[in-house]
Structure 1
């Protein structure tokens, strides 16, 4: 497996390339009934916060964590969407997302990634959980795409 912490670093790297002068593109839905790019950024921000504050402290050897209900997932996703469309500036949203990810990475650097626990009865290691988060990132990085939103090199 690739280093999951290194893989998590690709999210802030992708965000740093966004040209915040083209914010309108980020707040418009990708298509009818779809999320905006800003909402996707907030989505990762909120899930990073959940991972850092609500999961990691309890991911200890042998711990049995409960699975989130679909209502809990939907509620967190809705909060992220609402935050992204609350009037926050794209630059601020990106800064918060980068900062939250850096906090998460810093916390993980001191952890034993082989630590095993269960979530909803499924045995996982912290490495597997983190790899899953990195795959989730990669899905959203592809959605953000390489449009004409990349900062020019000056």
Structure 2
């Protein structure tokens, strides 16, 4: 995926998440199904992973540095995101935080040279950096679809 497409997709999610300010607080926290996340959890999840990308991926790509050697506990990151979403932070505050963090991610991506997106992804030479970010966008869109279906259902 090309740099301009990646940035366009990342920005489009900002506009869409901002539109979620209109939904009720009940729907904001309502689980998609028994024992599942709700909209608030997903938005907090986006924030957590955007922060991870900024610190541990995009900054390294931009500075042409190796990725830090990390053991990532995906379940713990997701659990912490859900707990944060339900910590008392308001819908508006969480959405504003998402927008701020996502804009920071986009700002970093804009600084990365176009040709970098065609280079191999460090540690996964079978994948380009552009393909890595395409996967991140697919993940965003999967959650967006999940939220839209939830809103329609209610």
TM-score between both structures, scaled by the size of structure 2: 0.82
Deviation at 1:65, TM superposition (A): 3.8
- Tell me which residue corresponds to 2:33: 31
Give the equivalent residue in structure 2 for 1:136: 139
1:67 positional shift: 7.8
Report the counterpart of residue 78 of structure 1 in structure 2. Answer: 79
Greater helix proportion: 2
Q: Which runs of 5+ in 2 are unaligned?
A: none
Aligned length: 147
- What's the offset of the Cα at 1:41? 0.4
Task: Report the CA distance shift for 1:87/1:43 in structure 2 as closer, same or farther (over 3 A).
Answer: same
Q: Which residue among 52, 55, 62 is the counterpart of 1:53?
A: 55
- Cα-to-partner distance string for 1:81-103 (whole Å, 9 max, x where unaligned): 11001111001000100111011
TM-score, normalised to structure 1, is 0.82
CA 1:64–1:106: 2 relative to 1, 3 Å: closer
Unaligned runs of 5+ in 1: 149-154
**Aligned counterpart, 1:152:** none
Distance of aligned partners of 1:19 and 1:118 in 2 relative to their CA distance in 1, 3 Å threshold: closer
Q: Which position in structure 1 is the counterpart of 2:108?
A: 107
Q: Do the aligned partners of 1:66 and 1:119 also contact (CA within 8 Å) in 2? A: no
